Structure 1
Amino acid sequence: MVLDASPGGRPGPGDTTAARARRGLLVVGSFVVLLYLIELVNIALFHSLNRTFGLRPRSADGILDILTFPLLHANLTHLMSNTLPLIIFGFLVFLSGLRVFITALAASWLVSGIVVWFIGGSSVTVGASGLVFGLFSFLLVRGFVNRSWWQIVLSVVLFMAYGSILFGILPTVASFVSWQAHLGGAIGGVIAALLLSGRRGRPAAVGR
């Protein structure tokens, strides 16, 4: 497993794959638990949070909803459908480090919201599926960007197992499915892979 190296070129103390795996399970698991807690509150409030904090495309106050819409879901079934892929993809991304995970998650979150705000339908959009598509696309392309053979192998395995979900980025006749959120998340994941590749390639500054 390739790890992000410390400035000295070696992983820092305790920065092992096992340690990252434990932290990844804790961070990703805590995020998923947060989503379920929010959904329970939302259910108790008859999903009124969706009307207040769901993303309303092309509305001025809807810009702030970009920060909240992935935390909400239409119902418990909707959240459950996102849970397993979010845990799997989030965990695999976290194995490359907290900075990588935050970058991929933030890019997926923001670009997904921006795309929905610009070209989304007339209904309010909620759900973490944009994050799922973003983390998935990040895992698919980063190996080719980084020219890392083990990441390319992982990309192939993931594509064979979950590649069919990419049909979700195509316009659909089902009005309750936000293909715009899926597309934006996928674009965000690719952007994150490119950004992180650029940072890895920069030489370290040397003081005199």
Structure 2
Amino acid sequence: MTGPVLAVDVGGTKLAAAVVEPDGTLRDRVTVPTPADGQKAAAALDRLAREVAAKGPAGRLVGLGVGSAGPLDLNAGTVSPVNITDWRPFPILDALRPVLPGRPAVLAGDGQCMALGEYWRGGYTTRAMLGMVVSTGVGGGLVLDGRIHPGVTGNAGHIGHIVVDLDGPPCPCGGRGCVEAIASGPR
């Protein structure tokens, strides 16, 4: 694929979208707070994506890339972010495809997107990298031989819900003592 893409980032605190050029340059970036209500978040995501797509090079956007807090179901194109409880599961690809009809749409974990971007633009020469995100939640992504390694479910490298303290605090995922319950930004 050559040409600019519409990139969308879904997190527990913010929704962001931008046009990304093939060299990685970001244009027309817009960010809004993530509404706590799932329906309002879905509407805000749609408005945000349409606003950025309209600013982009008319008709030149060749695809859509979505990075989201997880967990994900790549086969179904759904996300179930722990910090957006109404989105379990949310058909994010189906919701955003109408913004760029007929063009490819790809879903990955936000930590995976971060790791691949850092690997690509950071000049890494190693064959493998684990990138970690500590924000509203804790995520991660594996890059092996220059490509995201999603694993069978699309969640490989997502370390936030690994239990590290069996007697630890409750986590929004329903577990106890998860890395995210102990080490996320709000914690």
TM-score by length of 2: 0.29
Task: Work out which structure has the larger RCO, using CA pairs closer than 8 Å and 6 or more positions apart in sequence.
Answer: 1
The structure carrying a bigger helix percent of its residues is 1
Larger Rg: 1
